[in-house]
Amino acid sequence: MQREQNQKPGRRRSFTPAEETRIALRRHQPQKTGGKVRLPSWSALAGEFDRDPRLLQQASIRAFERGHVKVIEVPRLPAECVRVEGLEKALHFKFKVRRPIVVDTDEFEREYLKTFHNPGHYSALNALDDEIHRILGAHMARIIEERFIFDDSCVIGLGAGRGVYYILEALLLRKVMLDYTDVALMSLSGFVHPHDYASRLSVPLDSDYHVWLMASCFSTQVRLQQVYYPITCEKRDDTPLGQKSWKEFHPQVILAGVGALSSGHRFYDAAKSVRHTAAAQPDTMLAPIMKELSELVEICDRISKLSKAIDPAFWPVGDICHRLYYVQPPASVTVPPTDQAHAERLIKCINDKLLNVSEGQLREVQIALVAGTLRKAYAIHELLRAGRYNVRVLCIDKKAAEKILEIDTTERSHLGNNYQSGQ
């Protein structure tokens, strides 16, 4: 009792969100002491804020968890990694990709994970995924500099996601000015959310944003065709993706990434957030598809549990330009027919409500694809198999390339003469 009476009332009062934000910012403000630049200790801040150090630390954590404070990564050029010519030749031979780019990131991955206290934690692995995509984006940027992908009087389509973003980041950081005449840039999907969906980047990563970024990479004026509507908007005919507009004016080549509907994918995380948090409200941009999306995520989780022990790289749903598609499982994984049929119905229902490039439109264009990591190997292979799309350039990491070739060999052995891998 005596202890409670002697305790300062101020030390027991709860923090306001504004105070939590100020504490988090102060903790990460470097100061020079003893000739060295260091972050202030919690003990030092305890005197400044007149609060217990442990309470200050908890307040700082809450500020980050609630999104009031975040770490923004400064754009920079990635680590240099060599290419693997043997794998590039194999991909060209098997899938008729005109310009495969395979980057060996193995050594970089080992060294990068050593910088984390817990290398196996999802935050470390997500950070590594970002770095791999940054490396791939820089390699694709070099191919663009060589004038291999685009021509004069070309319409260039731009997808969403970090793969495309890192291509543009590399071009901007290298101060590349592309010298083309009569070029136009076109968005391939509506925007998913007004906020970013790559917490380490703090940029929106939507197609419209990428159009603005890439316009800065040209030495001459370019025409811009943007969607300007949310991903679930029903005004397709009012956008460049409408049937009439597309017929008159559409891309010859597009830059796109590949996604897997798993943890870290915007659609997946949004569905999980609504399902597991009673107070959560559906993302307003995704609300029209949230019911079907939640069901699809539930099926994906169920299938991934079946396949995890057999092949942890397999995820049953992929996306290109936010257009979802079913990924055929390996022969060793038995997916219940009812789950596959239900997943395919949900995918069709969701795609019908999305404002993005259609299946037919994707088949009309040449695709420069940048994507990596084992988690996306099956999704990438699904786009390559049987000449589904005209993938002209493919930029991936070594592990993903090896996995794709392994998948192809296994399926060829299983299906025999009924299997087609090339275009």
> What pLDDT shows up at residue 205?
87
Confidence of residue 347 (pLDDT cuts 50, 70, 90): very high
**Residue partners of 203: CB distance under 8 A and separation at least 6:** 165, 196, 209
- Residue 73, classified by CB atoms within 10 Å of its CB into exposed (0-12), middle (13-18) or buried (19+), is middle
Task: Say if residues 226 and 263 touch (Cβ distance below 8 Å).
Answer: no
> What pLDDT shows up at residue 418?
55
> What pLDDT shows up at residue 29?
82
On the question of pLDDT at 423 being above 60, the answer is no
pLDDT in tens, 166-183: 999 999 998 889 999 999
- Residue 125, classified by CB atoms within 10 Å of its CB into exposed (0-12), middle (13-18) or buried (19+), is middle
3-state helix, strand, coil in the chain (%, to 5): 50, 15, 40
Instruction: Give 48-52's long-range contacts (Cβ < 8 A, gap of 24+).
Output: 49/23, 50/8, 50/10, 50/11, 51/10, 51/11, 52/11
The encoded tokens of residue 310 equal 């057999």
pLDDT in tens, 266-281: 899 888 887 655 444 5
Report which DSSP code applies to 402: H
Tell me phi and psi for residue 250, to 5 degrees: -145, 165
Instruction: Kindly report the pTM of this predicted structure.
Output: 0.80
pLDDT in tens, 76-122: 667 889 999 999 999 999 999 999 999 999 999 999 898 888 888 87
Q: What are the residue ranges spanned by the domains of the chain? A: 2-65, 85-418
- The fold of 85-418 is Rossmann fold (3.40.50)
